[in-house]
Each structure stands twice: as structure tokens, then as C-alpha cells.
Amino acid sequence: MQTLDHLRPFFDQHAPRLTAVADQIWSLAELRYAEETSARLHADGLAAAGFRVQQPVAGIPTAFTAEAGEGGPVIGLLGEYDALSGLNQQSGALQCMPSADSPGLNGHGCGHHLLGAAAHLAALAVQEHLRQTGQPGRVRFYGCPAEEGGSGKTFMARDGLFDDLDAALTWHPASHTGIFDQSTLANIQARFVFKGRAAHAANSPHLGRSALDAVELMNVGVNYLREHMPPSARVHYAVTDSGGLSPNVVQARAEVLYLVRAARNHEATELYQRVQDVARGAALMTGCEMEVRFDKACSNLLLNTTLNQVMHAQMQHLGRLPVGEAERTQARLHHATLTAGDVEEAGRSLGSVLRGQGSELFDGLRDYNPQREDLLYGSTDVADVSWVTPTAQAWVACYAFGTPFHSWQMVSQGKNTLAHLGMVHAAKVMAATAIELLGRPEVLAAARAELLQRREGKPYQCPIPADAPLPLQRA
């Protein structure tokens, strides 16, 4: 097994700089496809280190690739840096307290500021390993925008950016550490725009055709549909245009955004067709016109046991998170802001081994059973990468145990020292795994064979149509 002993001075030297980059991106909190400064921080840092940077890629202004090394296998490291809307929060606060510097704006409620910085640090470490050893091989950092609600990697996969990889590695900040051994839901997101006819709501309502009525009827119809869809499926919606602020005007235009999820790609497609049928019925009932505007989609995740075992072995070798009393005190204070339900959900959704573990800080390593493959009721565009090339992911603890994703508590802890320690630990996990794979062509071949088996002989088919434009005009 490869170790990182020869890279210890390197991590000691470079980790503080990447920690500062993560903190800066936390403060920027830029949304999907608008991460100009965040992407530039990563691209410029890698270029300064000698990486060959291409930007933009796939027609996405905030997407880029950065490669180092020559010949040999190509290992990809996936970096994200987008935030979530409406989650602005004061750093370190123990109550929901929007920052006075940027009230009402965005926040890193899923830790992507850490995610990209750790992948960046790992890429630098692999580059240093290749320099020191003269080993053939290439490491390629992918600057991946818009994971939250934009499926940036799916658009990148549609453009073939991952086709020549031998393997892809990534991670996700969490409140525990272990292999990401859960499949995820495929999804499709689309806007349904209804167009009716304005009229005076009191004097001549019979002349109007309410687009808002159509939206409401669609929502009612989809709610009735829920009883008759697969148990693992999910459908969410948000009314993005209710037709105006005047109740005495029949609303001539209204819009609703739908996100349809299911366990597998074909199930999501089938459910999406049924949702469209409901929308057509709502338009007929109200005498409105209806337009579907496809927004984005992503596939279900294909796990790769071969790569997961390699990554887990590296995590075992690296050992526990190097936390001290300061981090435990931080975690204890933030853990006290959580509900019993938050902590129970962390155990339920991430494996029974975590349930009732009773600590405010999970600094160990979750067991990995290759036979255990759970379902995580969320979605990620990493899944589309997993259909193209063998892919492995890790969870790494950066927050008090039980901290829920997309919450103010997660934003608040994003610049704590526990978050920084977890970020550097994740970088070491990915770097060690990449270095191991670069010297093990037989493992890469086995991982590729497993991917082909899991695809059941089917080629990757991008769930985003070839003519669907990037949703750059919407945030």
C-alpha cells in the first residue's frame, strides 16, 4: 500500500493556503453557474502550480479542467464550489443569525467550499508525488459548478469530458467519516409555464383564463399521483411565478418548477412523463396553454466496490481525525442546537452502525461492508460521472454529529477548525487513493470491468437531451 509519508512536509506547507481558499469561497457563497470568483481562485491556484488549465469547458463559463503529469493512467478529482440560496448565516453562531454583512443572501449549507478545496489540495499532492518519483501518470482536477440544482457534471458528461478517465475520486463533507456506499436517486427538473388570459376578476371573470388556477390544479393532480408512484420516488415543486400581486386581476401567466426523482434513470423518465400528463390536464381544465421548459437532470449513482475497497483501505491506514479538545468543544456547542430528530436521521439514513452513537463528534471510521449498498434519498451529478468511469467517494466528518445538510447549522460550522481538519483529511484520502491507483493498473482494469457489469451492457445515455441549453439564465 502506498503511504503519504513522503508528502507530509508538502501537506504541512500547502494545507493552510487551501484552508484560506475554502474560507474565502465560504464568504463568497456563489450560486449555480455564477461561481466566477470561486472558479477563478481554484483555476489560478492550479495554474500557478504548473497545471495545464482549460477554461471554459463544455460551454460552461465556470467549469474548467487542470491537468498535471505525463502518460500513464488518468485519475480525475472532482471539485465543487457552489452554494445554496437563502442560507446566509453568521459564522460560528449558535442560533439562526444571518450575517450582518450580507443579509438574506446565500450560504454553504452543503460544504462545497470545503469539497473543492480538498480536491484541489489532493491534486497538488498527487502532482508532487509524480514529480518526486518520476512515475508516469496524470492527475486531472475538474472544476465542477452548479451541483446544487444545476447538474453541472451532467452537462460536462454530455460533452464527453470524463470519457478518457481511468477513475474518478471525490468526497463530501458530512458529520461522519466512511465510504459513500449509498446509491442516489436519478432526477429531472423542469419548469411548467401556463399562459392564460387576463381579465377583471370582479367585472368580467368569465373572460379570463387563470394560469394560477392551472398551477394549483397541477399541484393537486401531482399530489394525487404520489400514491401511485414507486415508494422510493420523490416529487417536489416550487411556485416561481404566481402571476402577480393583484388579486383583482385574473393571472395571465404562472409558473411552477418541478423536481422529479426516482431510484433509476428509466423510472425517473417514466414518472416525469406522468407529471407532464397531469400538467396537460390542468391546462385543458383551465383553458390555458402550457409549455414545458427542461432545466436539468442527473442519473442514479453506480457504486464501484473495487474502488471503494481501495479508498477504504487508505482511510483505515490514515486513522482517526486528528481532533483535539478545541474541536470537541466546538462540536459540543453546535450539537446542542440540533434536535433529537436530526441526530436520529443521521443514524437512520447513513447506516444503523451510527444510530445512537451518543457523541457530538464522530472522529472514527464507519465500517465498510462491500455487500451493503444502501439508497440515499438525494441526488448528485457525480452519478453521471459514475456511469462514464469507475468512481469512488468518501464522507468525511467536518461538522458536529447529526448536523443536517442544507441547514443554518451546517453553514455556521463551515469555517470551524473541525471543518478545516476534515477538509485536509479528505485531501489525504483522495491523494493516497489516487497514488495507489496510479501504480495498480490491474485494479483500474477490475474497476472498469465492474462498471461495465453494473451498466448491464448498456452504454451511458445522458439524461439531458443533446439540444437542451445550459440553464445559465436562471439561478
- Name, in order, each residue with C-beta under 8 angstroms of 206's C-beta and a sequence gap of 6 or more: 199
* Range list for CATH 3.30.70.360 in the chain: 187-297
Read off the pLDDT of residues 55-67 as tens digits, 9 standing for 90 and up.
999 999 999 999 9
DSSP codes joined into one string, 123-136: HHHHHHHHHHH---
- Does position 425 have pLDDT exceeding 80, yes or no? yes
Backbone angles phi, psi at 261, to 5 degrees: -125, 145
More confident residue, 292 or 345: 292
pLDDT on residue 209: 97
Q: Residue 357: is it exposed, middle or buried by C-beta count within 10 angstroms (0-12/13-18/19+)?
A: middle
User: What is the average pLDDT across 339-367?
Assistant: 73
Percent of the chain at pLDDT exceeding 90: 90
Q: C-alpha 121: how far from its chain's center?
A: 19
User: What is the average pLDDT across 231-253?
Assistant: 96
More confident residue, 16 or 351: 16
Question: CA 324, CA 397: separation in Å to the nearest integer?
Answer: 14
pLDDT on residue 100: 81
Nearest to 15 by CA among 124, 132, 130: 124
User: What is the average pLDDT across 27-49?
Assistant: 97
* Range list for CATH 3.40.630.10 in the chain: 5-185+300-454
- Does position 475 have pLDDT exceeding 70, yes or no? no
What architecture is the 5-185+300-454 domain classified under in CATH?
3-Layer(aba) Sandwich (3.40)
Q: C-alpha 202: how far from its chain's center?
A: 48
pLDDT on residue 354: 47
Read off the pLDDT of residues 327-347 as tens digits, 9 standing for 90 and up.
999 999 999 999 988 888 777
pLDDT on residue 457: 86
pLDDT on residue 244: 93
- Name, in order, each residue with C-beta under 8 angstroms of 150's C-beta and a sequence gap of 6 or more: 32, 33, 82, 296, 471
Q: Is 146 left (phi over 0), alpha (psi -120 to 50) or beta?
A: left
pLDDT on residue 471: 85
Strand, helix or coil for residue 57: strand
Read off the pLDDT of residues 88-144 as tens digits, 9 standing for 90 and up.
999 999 999 998 877 778 999 999 999 999 999 999 999 999 999 999 999 999 999
Strands 391-397, 178-179: parallel, antiparallel or unpaired by DSSP? antiparallel
CA distances from residue 213 to 196, 199, 247, 281, 461 in whole angstroms, order as listed: 10, 14, 13, 12, 37
User: What is the average pLDDT across 232-261?
Assistant: 97
- Residue 51 is placed in which grid cell? 497545471
Q: Is there a contact between 88 and 414 (Cβ–Cβ < 8 Å)?
A: no
- Planar angle of CA 444, 450, 453, nearest 5 degrees: 145
Mean pLDDT of the chain: 94
pLDDT on residue 473: 52
- Does position 373 have pLDDT exceeding 90, yes or no? no
DSSP codes joined into one string, 176-209: S-EE--EEE-EEEEEEEEEE-B--BTTT-GGG-B
Q: Is there a contact between 211 and 433 (Cβ–Cβ < 8 Å)?
A: no
Of 38-47, 94-103, 161-170, the poorest mean pLDDT is in: 94-103
Residue 355's Cβ-side half-sphere holds a number of Cα atoms within 13 Å equal to 8
Strand, helix or coil for residue 122: helix
Contacts 24+ apart (CB under 8 A), 85-90: 85/31, 85/475, 87/406, 87/407, 87/408, 87/411, 88/29, 88/411, 89/408, 89/411, 89/412, 90/412
E strand or H helix at 266, and its extent? helix 265-286
User: What is the average pLDDT across 299-311?
Assistant: 98
Domain 187-297: which CATH number of 1.10.3720.10, 3.50.50.60, 3.10.20.30, 3.30.70.360 = 3.30.70.360
Q: Grade residue 149 by pLDDT with cuts at 50, 70 and 90.
A: confident
Percent of the chain at pLDDT exceeding 70: 97
Q: C-alpha 342: how far from its chain's center?
A: 20
Q: For residue 141, what are the β-bridge partners?
A: 66, 77
What letters, b where the CB count within 10 A reaches 16 and e where it falls short, cover 194-219? Answer: bbbebbeeeeeeeebbbbbbbbbbbb
pLDDT on residue 386: 98
